[in-house]
Each structure stands twice: as C-alpha cells, then as structure tokens.
Amino acid sequence: MASVQLRLKDVDDDALRHACDVLRPVVQAREAAFIVNDRPDIAAECGADGVHVGQQDAAYHDARRMVGDDAIVGVTCHNSRHLAMTAAEAGADYVAFGAFFGSATKEPRFRAEPELLRWWA
C-alpha cells in the first residue's frame, strides 16, 4: 500500500493538527495510508492510518497502545539490525533504516550502508 508520512518537526500541536486535517482526507481519498511522524497521540486524535516513531520518540508499545491494533506503526532503526529485529519481534508493521545519503534538510546522526537492505530482504 502506498503511504504519505507527514513530518513536521518544528511546529506547535495546533499547526500539526491543522496539517493533518487538511492532508489526511486528500491522502486517504487516493487510497494511500496517512502516517504521522513522531506523534502517536496526534495520529490517534486526527484519524491517521498510523504513526512512525523514532528511537527518541514514544516506545513502540506506547505508540501501538495510543493508535490501536488496526493502525500502522513504523519504527526508525538507523543502521542497526538489532533494533530492526527488536521492532519486528515487538510487532512493528515496518522498520526504516537510514540515512543512506546526505540531506540538505537534516544532518544524519547515523549512516546506513545499502548492504543493510540486502540483509533485511
């Protein structure tokens, strides 16, 4: 299934809620999943299809409890096979690795090698 992740790091809760209210119906009307980054509380409140949490955000189990069993929960695993296995065993719907490449918008704290994707597959 296609998905769109809303990732707004430096906005207040009201701005995030507003963005969800505007974007969620557009994304869902196109039969894609609407995922909120970092904020399981806002994801549950706004009717998102799921949430993506990083290692510094809510723990997987807390995120799952907030969004419910039918929602999508993804977990950032940086460049760690161990974190990926732990998230998968806990029940994460997907894991994300990275950064694989540099970015003009964020200084990556971790560098993942493409070989990691071959291991996961």
Q: Is the pLDDT of residue 68 over 80?
A: yes
Q: Is the pLDDT of residue 119 over 80?
A: no
pLDDT of residue 102: 85
Q: What is the pTM of this model?
A: 0.92
Name the pLDDT band for 85 (thresholds 50, 70, 90): very high
The whole-number average pLDDT for the span 104-111 is 84
Give the single-character DSSP code of 31.
T
CA distance 6 to 20: 8
CA contacts within 13 A on the Cβ side of 10? 2
Of 3.20.20.70, 3.10.28.10, 3.40.50.300, 3.40.30.10, which CATH number belongs to 3-120?
Answer: 3.20.20.70
pLDDT of residue 120: 58
pLDDT of residue 48: 98
